[in-house]
Amino acid sequence: MTHALSTNALSKTYSNGFEALKAVDLKVEKGDFFALLGSNGAGKTTAIGIICGLITPTSGSVEIDGLNQGKNINEVKRKIGLMPQEFNFNPHEPNIEILINQAGYFGINRKEATLRAEVLLKKVNLWDRRLEVPQSLSGGMKRRLMLARALMHNPEILILDEPTAGVDVEIRRSMWRFLKQLNQEGLTIILTTHYLEEAESMCRNIAILNEGEIVAQSSMKALLKKAKHQVLIFECVESLSNSIKIKNCECEVLDAHTLQVTLPESTTISAVITKLLLQNVSVANIRSAQNRLENLFLSLTSKDE
């Protein structure tokens, strides 16, 4: 099957000698919702820049929908919609014009572009602000304007570099719903984010970059299976004594009614509840203390290891 995106031994050494990417092989299936994760400076934006034809790789190649990017740059650009990490619009151009002009670069006539701009501005809750200029928008609004702009030419692949950075909780949720809907309609989505909980709930496949190298690439499900343990907080009805013990688990009494339990993969939550009952403690509520993906991410990218 042809991949939506395939990079082959992609490397980038910047002119100051810094090696930002080291033989990166990324494979993204058509219709995927793919997360590219990595700490600050890991090389995510560099990789995206190369994929979109904005940065020249030092070596290696990129294929988009089976097309060699270097040889088919115009066709490839048409297939990709990019929402960059940094704001990059003319701050004095009216918002709706920014969208219409973007469509113009791809040969879409003004009438059609105006209709599409209306649909998208409404989708990202900026219709009321269409005649204003980006300068008068808040940071989160500018990000939404960039999302609408990325979609103006109906791309096959949407690439989002930290789409929800600085976007408030409510709008972030509505943005994710919108992205999920686009993905269900067949759009391939590739994104970077530092919100790992969101990556975990939204994305099917994932790659983790660390200092320019891929340290993990698999389905989210398979990757999470590798998370060796989970940390759960049990709210208990009875007062807890410090002598609570559960086989194979690490227990820490946080306060009179709150117990933190670190469970290995082999221990089920119901086993913990049973063991607590045997010690005359009943559980009123359970919540996750840490995100599993977050733990795994930290273990894969930790600088001390």
Residues that bind ligand ATP (CB under 6 A): 14, 16, 18, 20, 38, 40-46, 85
- Cβ-based nearer residue to ligand ATP, 82 or 96: 82
175 binds, among Mg ion, ligand ATP, none (CB under 5 to 8 A by kind): none
Options 20-28, 43-51, 136-144, 167-175: segment touching Mg ion (CB under 5 A)? 43-51
Task: Name which of 6 and 85 has its Cβ closer to Mg ion.
Answer: 85
User: Closest approach of Cβ 43 to Mg ion, in Å?
Assistant: 8
* Lookup: tokens for 246: 């559960």
The residue among 50 and 251 lying less far from Mg ion, judged by its C-beta, is 50
Half-sphere exposure of 289 toward its Cβ, with a 13 Å CA cutoff? 16
Q: Which amino acid is at 123?
A: K
Quote the CA–CA distance of 58 and 278 in Å, as a whole number. 63
Q: Which is nearer to ligand ATP, 246 or 296 (CB)?
A: 296
Instruction: Go through the chain and tell me how many residues it has.
Output: 305
Q: How far apart are CA 161 and CA 159, in angstroms?
A: 7
| Residue choice 6, 7, 45, 262 for contact with Mg ion (CB under 5 A) | 45
In whole angstroms, give the CA distance from residue 107 to residue 278.
71
Closest to 78 (Cα-Cα) out of 92, 95, 59, 65: 65
CB of 196 to ligand ATP, least distance (A): 13
Binding at 102: pick from ligand ATP, Mg ion, none (beta carbon under 5-8 Å per type): none
